[in-house]
Structure 1
Amino acid sequence: MEIPILDFSLYESPESRTLLADQVVHTLETVGFLYLKNHGVPAEQIDKADGAAVKYFDQETSVKKQFSRPSVMTENPGSGYCEIGIERLYQSGVKEVKETFDFIPSDLPEGKAESATVLIEPLTNLFNSCAELARKLFHCIALGLKLANERYLEDKHKGMGNRNVNSTTLRVLHYPPFDSAQYGETATRLGEHTDWCSMAILFQRDVGGLEVETAGNKFVPAPPIPGTVLVNIGDILQFWTCGRLRATTHRVRAVDSEQNTKVRRSIGFFANPDFDAVVESLDPRYYFHPEPTGEYTLNRFRNAYHYQERQDFGFMKPQRVSE
């Protein structure tokens, strides 16, 4: 399986936009991941955010913890730092050797954000550009799905950037040099998982390790390709389309001795619907009880932060409509 590279400049012309929309939907039906070139996010913004991440993660852990991510047991997801070992996805007994900084522009508590000052301006600019790209991609998907309202998905994500109504997050990930002797034989950089958002947009730097699962249950590399971003959908958009679009399992491994000695950095934009956005079947052949996404998203965050096994949250069970 090869992950295709699509040319997003086709979006700018109404004549070619339909072609792009069909390409996007077909790829998300069959592969679940795609690269975009000419995506419109300025390279300068990406470079500045990455440079700021180098400076930020070089600080002592005690400094970074001054602005820790709020507990999802008592609050909505928000901005802040998460150290190695706090978060884990799906795999029992596996330690994920990564630290993160999550960013929502409206969530910068006074007295806590000083340790992340270097990140604030570059992440704000990048967040806004990613939100604009996400809106265009949602438009493409609606066009490719032939929805009667081509702005349907955009309308469900109006609150991106406002923590009070939406949990869309720009996440900076820092994977330190990997030492299995230090972290244990079962450690990895990022465990096998699907994203639980609507859509993810990923900026990779020089060091690879990301792998995507094929329909034949094999993992293939999804390496950094200069000038592109990597896009995939998450569980919510899979639910929305009753499985027509694929939320594809992926992971990040330290795959060889040379790569293990290097820091891996990436920045991911995870677009979520507004908390009160009601998700109902977009496929007339299926029905599920319409549900707001807020509680589902919060439960998935709680699952990752409290070492639970992957759970069936009973969310959106499509049933085929009788002929």
Structure 2
Amino acid sequence: MSTAHTVDGLLEIPTIDVSAYRTVNSTAHQRDSIANEVDRAARTVGFMQIIGHGIPEATLTGFTSATDAFFALDGEAKSAYRCPPSVNRGYTPPKSEALANSLGIISAADLFEAFNIGSQASDHPDLALSAADYPENVWPGEVADFASAVGDWFDAAGRVARLMVRIFGRALGVGEDGLTGYTDHSVDLLRMINYRLPSADIELEPDQLGMGAHTDYGIVTVLWADAVPGLEILGADATWHPVQPSPGALLVNLGDALARWTNDRWISTMHRVAAPRVNGTLVPRRSAAYFHDGNIDAVIAPLPTCVSSDRPALYEPVTIQEHLRAKLAGSRSRVLNPSADREAARLHTAAGLSSG
């Protein structure tokens, strides 16, 4: 699996304006230009800053107000919405997950707390989807507008994710609809994440992180985050590089499914969230990641346009279901994933990381 490229020790996250792709009268030249920019970012770093995404500021304001109100509740109230590890919904308390376990690596528990919603079996009544893969959402009753405000952001971020999939198809030479057939009942998840620690001088375990090193699991992630230090990307120079979103931009990064589909032409970038600090002091940080992971029955296998005699297929076919279950068993159930050798090997080269 490829690694983000650095130039003179710097990691550039390109800013790409997709507004022309959202207009019905955009030209083929405009769309090709955007697709080429996305292809370049996907080949070199696997992350991009997306502007012109069309999400109103009011949608973000309502969303962050609702999530702030939920995370401000006391621990007992929040824990009432905790689900079993096998159900990727509801509340996750601090130190109950370790994302590095999804790479088969032992690590300290991560500091973040989170609340998850996602696509449900009831959203597709004609498909008889399994509730194990598409569980129903739980909604906290203490915050009156939580469901509507969070639902509005879920819908808006989902539109950006689906737009990106169309751009990906054009960039990969399979057409704008070339990948959409794998996503018409996609397993999508919105994870609202809070790094507000109990106190600024809390003592951390050795190597403890806000969120451990990992690659994302599916096709594409649409991320909103505070302009607070924390997010870091592992570069080809085996060091971690800080990344912060530009004002008004959404960070978009690629997941394992897309790396597999592109036969590692595109990068599923290793990233983590360090314990957020400003001037050496732990500070609050918020983010919200929308994961667009693909249909549960979709088969991940290298696309014909990404395989050649010089570059044979690097991956055996696997379903989205098989892939997601192995990854989630690692992060949520703390069962080390035995099927992530390629990703784990990259992490073991990072500066200062031991092999144990």
Number of equivalences = 303
Post-superposition offset of 1:187: 1.9
In the alignment, structure 1 residue 151 sits paired with structure 2 residue 194: no
Equivalent residues of 1:105, 1:124 under 8 A apart? no
For 1:14, the aligned partner's letter is T
- 2:301 corresponding residue in structure 1: 280
Q: Distance in 2 between matches of 1:63 and 1:241?
A: 44
SS at match of 1:155: helix
The structure-2 alpha-carbon separation of the partners of 1:140 and 1:51, relative to structure 1 and needing over 3 Å to count, comes to: same
Question: Deviation digits for residues 60-100 of structure 1, max 9, x if unmatched?
Answer: 1111111113431xxxx442000011111125232211100
The structure-2 alpha-carbon separation of the partners of 1:109 and 1:214, relative to structure 1 and needing over 3 Å to count, comes to: closer
- Aligned partner of 1:300 among 327, 331, 335: 327
- 1:28 corresponding residue in structure 2: 42
Runs of 5+ unmatched residues, structure 1: 161-165, 316-323
SS at match of 2:203: helix
In the alignment, structure 1 residue 4 sits paired with structure 2 residue 9: no
Identity %: 24
Equivalent residues of 1:67, 1:115 under 8 A apart? no
Q: Distance in 2 between matches of 1:202 and 1:144?
A: 21
- 2:125 corresponding residue in structure 1: none
- The 5 A counterparts of 1:121-140 are 121-140=148-167
Q: Distance in 1 between matches of 2:238 and 2:109?
A: 23
- Aligned partner of 1:311 among 325, 331, 338: 338
- 2:349 corresponding residue in structure 1: none
Post-superposition offset of 1:253: 1.1
- The 5 A counterparts of 1:200-239 are 200-239=221-260
Question: Deviation digits for residues 156-199 of structure 1, max 9, x if unmatched?
Answer: 11114xxxxx2x10110000136564342332111111111211
Equivalent residues of 1:198, 1:233 under 8 A apart? yes
In the alignment, structure 1 residue 14 sits paired with structure 2 residue 38: no
Post-superposition offset of 1:117: 5.0
Equivalent residues of 2:219, 2:257 under 8 A apart? yes
Please provide the CA RMSD for this pair. Answer: 2.3
Equivalent residues of 1:82, 1:101 under 8 A apart? yes
Post-superposition offset of 1:262: 2.0
- Aligned partner of 1:173 among 193, 202, 211: 193
The structure-2 alpha-carbon separation of the partners of 1:298 and 1:193, relative to structure 1 and needing over 3 Å to count, comes to: same
Residues 91-100 or 263-272, more deviating: 91-100
Equivalent residues of 2:200, 2:283 under 8 A apart? no
Question: Deviation digits for residues 144-166 of structure 1, max 9, x if unmatched?
Answer: 1111x431222211114xxxxx2
Q: Distance in 2 between matches of 1:306 and 1:216?
A: 32
SS at match of 2:111: coil
Question: Deviation digits for residues 127-157 of structure 1, max 9, x if unmatched?
Answer: 111111111111111101111x431222211
SS at match of 1:273: strand
Q: Distance in 1 between matches of 2:201 and 2:271?
A: 21
SS at match of 1:182: coil
Q: Distance in 2 between matches of 1:127 and 1:216?
A: 35
Post-superposition offset of 1:255: 5.4
In the alignment, structure 1 residue 65 sits paired with structure 2 residue 79: yes
Q: Distance in 2 between matches of 1:291 and 1:105?
A: 21
TM-score by length of 1: 0.86
Equivalent residues of 1:70, 1:80 under 8 A apart? no
SS at match of 2:267: coil
Q: Distance in 1 between matches of 2:114 and 2:67?
A: 10
- 1:242 corresponding residue in structure 2: 263
SS at match of 1:114: coil
SS at match of 1:28: helix
For 2:58, the aligned partner's letter is E
Post-superposition offset of 1:261: 3.6
Runs of 5+ unmatched residues, structure 2: 1-10, 121-134, 343-356
Q: Distance in 2 between matches of 1:175 and 1:314?
A: 29
- Aligned partner of 1:291 among 309, 318, 328: 318
Post-superposition offset of 1:218: 2.0
In the alignment, structure 1 residue 95 sits paired with structure 2 residue 115: no
Post-superposition offset of 1:125: 0.9
The structure-2 alpha-carbon separation of the partners of 1:88 and 1:180, relative to structure 1 and needing over 3 Å to count, comes to: farther
